[in-house]
Amino acid sequence: MPELAAEVAFEVPFFDVDVMDVAWHGHYVKYFELARCALLRKIDYDYPKMRDSGYAWPVVKCYLKFVRSARYGQQVVARAILRDYKNQLRLDYEIRDAASGERLTTGYTVQLAVAMPTGELQFVSPNCLIERVEKACEN
Amino acid sequence: MPELAAEVAFEVPFFDVDVMDVAWHGHYVKYFELARCALLRKIDYDYPKMRDSGYAWPVVKCYLKFVRSARYGQQVVARAILRDYKNQLRLDYEIRDAASGERLTTGYTVQLAVAMPTGELQFVSPNCLIERVEKACEN
Amino acid sequence: MPELAAEVAFEVPFFDVDVMDVAWHGHYVKYFELARCALLRKIDYDYPKMRDSGYAWPVVKCYLKFVRSARYGQQVVARAILRDYKNQLRLDYEIRDAASGERLTTGYTVQLAVAMPTGELQFVSPNCLIERVEKACEN
Amino acid sequence: MPELAAEVAFEVPFFDVDVMDVAWHGHYVKYFELARCALLRKIDYDYPKMRDSGYAWPVVKCYLKFVRSARYGQQVVARAILRDYKNQLRLDYEIRDAASGERLTTGYTVQLAVAMPTGELQFVSPNCLIERVEKACEN
């Protein structure tokens, strides 16, 4: 499987920083999502396209491992890498300091396709995902 | 106009506290909303009922005045008071320390009715609001 | 190890609900924290006590498994259960529908002690945690 | 008074979008803060410098006027303009659609200086602000 990845650069905003003077750990789920949306756009399957395709893709698992904390104003890069798409949509994530490249946080999410409006869970990914991934990997 | 008001009690969560060791000022918009939803339930016009009535009620103005800050774990009470409903939905708010009653934050929001799905702004409040308010005031 | 657990009941606020009409998955990290703080209070070791004890307890791992989604206004219960405290602080979580008891989300967090202000990681939990847990379990 | 302003461009993230398919109104306080921090950096008085100067600058008033809503993925620009600094720090804000320039939201914040650690409110802005503004305006 060829690597499909996307990155987003941003800085840690003041409103994400907690009393310990670092980004509160829960905000990294947002940072993962920023990178995930960038990757999904690369395959032309971001949220509005998902909705139009007749499937919702709820996150069913999310794991975060915190290595180093991030301070207010720190420049960081969030990277999402596609790891599986045939039976589930699994992405791995890395948040790094933009300057040093030091890893701050890693993790993954798993999403499953649900046919709308019946709400039926799909145990094999629908073609609307598979074709998009394969087309993007050809390029 | 008889007073129509509602209160919600809660404590300041850790994830709302910023580096100054107090609730970040932007979170008070959420505290206002908690009280607003409680008031709207009193007149049986909370969000799902709004949607079913064919109107959206976007917030068009919001004002907040911060008097004292709130710390992690502090018990607070958010109160919403109906001030106008005939041409707009205007609510005033007070956030107080639960123990001392000291005022922490005050403010207001203004919402206007928008007919869905046309998106047409209503310069007079629709009957679905007026009747509910008047019924609640009779009780 | 006797079970040490704590629960918090709350309802899903409007501002946590996403475009799919359910609580956005990232907000569950906050729900976990509400339950965690309740448990830490039971052993008299909530955030201000941690700070006074000379240790920070950053979350180093967080896992969430989403089983069912939660809608606006749904009454839910978040429960935290202590699973380990000797070498790390590990808590498991369950978010349930308050009425039916149906499980919505499960997960865990791992926290490690860091001595302040040196920032030195502790591979064995400091006594200030161990004694509090053991005292709470005796009761 | 010469105009001192700063802008930040960003796109509306998925996690800020509510059930009405637009950015939830409370998130605009964050967008204001992004622009405010950019302006404060221009005068070398962003949060870490504030802290080092011995003053906190709590927001004491915040007003938001919502003109048009913003959708997921929309490119927007948040602009902060300095309006007063002698007795208070008052900034006006404009959030615009990046492509069309259409105004989405306007508002202002007022901050007052509080000497730390005494907590004494300053009715005249301290020199550490005044000198920085005047130096930036000369350039």
Instruction: Look at A56 and D2; give whichever has higher pLDDT.
Output: A56
What is the average pLDDT across A3-17? 97
Query: Residue A83 sits in a domain of what CATH number?
Result: 3.10.129.10
Chain-chain contact of D26 with B25 (C-beta, under 8 angstroms): no
For residues D71 and D13, the answer to whether their CB atoms sit within 8 Å is no
Q: Cβ C21–D19 below 8 Å, yes or no?
A: yes
Tell me: pLDDT of C2 over 80.
no
pLDDT exceeds 90 at position A139: no
Q: How many Cα atoms sit within 13 Å of C118 on the Cβ side?
A: 5
Q: Who wins on pLDDT, C137 or C4?
A: C4
CA–CA–CA angle C127, C130, C133 (5° rounding): 145
- From C103's Cα to the closest Cα of chain B, the distance in A is 23
What residue numbers bound the domain in which A80 lies?
A: 5-138
Residue B60 has pLDDT above 90, yes or no: yes
D-chain CB neighbours of A33 within 8 Å are 13-15
- The reported pLDDT for the residue numbered B139 is 72
Q: Mean pLDDT score of chain C, rounded to an integer?
A: 96
- CB contacts of B18 in chain A (<8 Å) are 14-15, 17-19
For B68-124, the pLDDT digits (tens) are 999 999 999 999 999 999 999 999 999 999 999 999 999 999 999 999 999 999 999
Q: With contact defined as beta carbons under 8 Å apart, do A29 and A71 qualify? A: no
- Least Cα separation, residue B103 to chain A (angstroms): 23
**A78-137 pLDDT tens trace:** 999 999 999 999 999 999 999 999 999 999 999 999 999 999 999 999 999 999 999 998
Tens-place pLDDT, residues C70-107: 999 999 999 999 999 999 999 999 999 999 999 999 99
Query: Stretch D112-121: mean pLDDT, rounded?
Result: 94
This model of the complex carries an ipTM of 0.96
Does pLDDT of B1 surpass 90?
A: no
Q: Which residue has the higher pLDDT, B139 or B13?
A: B13
Q: Which residues on B lie below 8 Å from A23 (Cβ)?
A: none
Distances (CA, A) of B110 to B91, C104, D67: 7, 35, 12
B48 contact C CB<8A: yes
The pLDDT tens digits for B7-18 are 999 999 999 999
Query: Would the pLDDT of B22 be above 90?
Result: yes
Check if C12 contacts D (Cβ < 8 Å). no
Q: pTM of the prediction? A: 0.97
In our burial notation (b when 16+ CB lie closer than 10 A, e otherwise), range A39-74 reads bbebbebbbeebeebebbbbbbbbbbbbeebbebeb
Count the domains in chain D. 1
Query: For D113-126, what is the mean pLDDT?
Result: 94
> Chain C: nearest CA to A2, how far in angstroms?
27
**Binding partners of C (≥3 Cβ pairs within 8 A):** A, B, D
Q: Pick the range with the lowest mean pLDDT from C103-107, D27-31, D121-125.
A: D121-125
Element (H, E) at A7: strand A5-11
Which of chain D's residues have a Cβ under 8 Å away from the Cβ of C72?
19
> Is C48 near chain A, with CB under 8 Å?
no
Q: What is the mean pLDDT of chain D?
A: 96
